[in-house]
Amino acid sequence: MEDKIKLLAQWLNNVDSSTFYYNSERSGKLEYEVMQAQVEVCNKIGDMLEEILQMDEEQLQDNLEEQ
């Protein structure tokens, strides 16, 4: 399962404008901003997953208890 999460994190961190089929010649400013927001969200989620995967058991428990 951990390998699957690592792969998902890598995919999310590799998201760019081409992932969302953004075409600068046919799309306007709003479409560009939406695409940029999507890329940013995917990259942030990927970073969070990688951070969680790097935690040891004690760090995981401490974070779970804080919630």
| Residue ranges per structural domain of the chain | 2-66
pLDDT in tens, 12-58: 999 998 888 777 788 888 988 999 999 999 999 999 999 999 999 99
- Please count the other Cβ atoms lying within 10 Å of the Cβ belonging to residue 12: 20
pTM over 0.75, yes/no: yes
